[in-house]
Structure 1
Amino acid sequence: MGGNGANTCQLVVPSATLSPEAVTLRRRIALLACVAHRAEQVCQVSSLWVTYSER
């Protein structure tokens, strides 16, 4: 998998410049992006496993 070590799924946002609604929205977007990224990794791993098991 990627060796850049950037899989912490965190966005750095200066919360002082945002309204609470904007902060909540940013957090939801970050969480959705994190879930989608993890799901993509799981799909890659499971597809590799299927490829090996079909041999």
Structure 2
Amino acid sequence: MGNGAKYGPVSVPSATLSPEAVALRRHIALLACVAHRAKQVCQVSSLWVTYSER
């Protein structure tokens, strides 16, 4: 990030991003969060199944 600042236009501040780009970033972040949570839930449920089968 730091060395890109001297080129000016190359490093685009988030304030100049279009609403579509911001929405896309939020959507990707949300999907990543949901996927991460789903993975945790799957691990917990598989642990529960393993424990209850004993």
Q: TM-score range by the shorter chain?
A: 0.7 to 0.9
Matching residue of 2:26: 27
Give structure 1 stretches of 5+ with no counterpart.
1-13
* Cα distance in 1 for residues equivalent to 2:16 and 2:48: 46
Paired amino acid for 2:32: A
The alignment's C-alpha RMSD in Å is 1.1
The normalised TM-score by structure 2 is 0.72
For structure 2, the residue ranges without an aligned partner over 5 or more in a row are 1-12
Select the structure that is richer in helix: 2
Q: Percent identity of the aligned residues?
A: 93
> How many residues are treated as equivalent by the alignment?
42
Q: Structure with the greater relative contact order (CA < 8 A, sep ≥ 6): 1 or 2?
A: 1
Quick check: 1:43 aligned with 2:3?
no
By how many angstroms is 1:19 displaced? 0.8
Give the TM-score, by structure 1 length: 0.71
Give, in angstroms, the shift of residue 15 of structure 1.
3.0
Name the counterpart of 2:15: 16
Moved over 2 A (4+): none
Question: Aligned letter for 2:29?
Answer: A
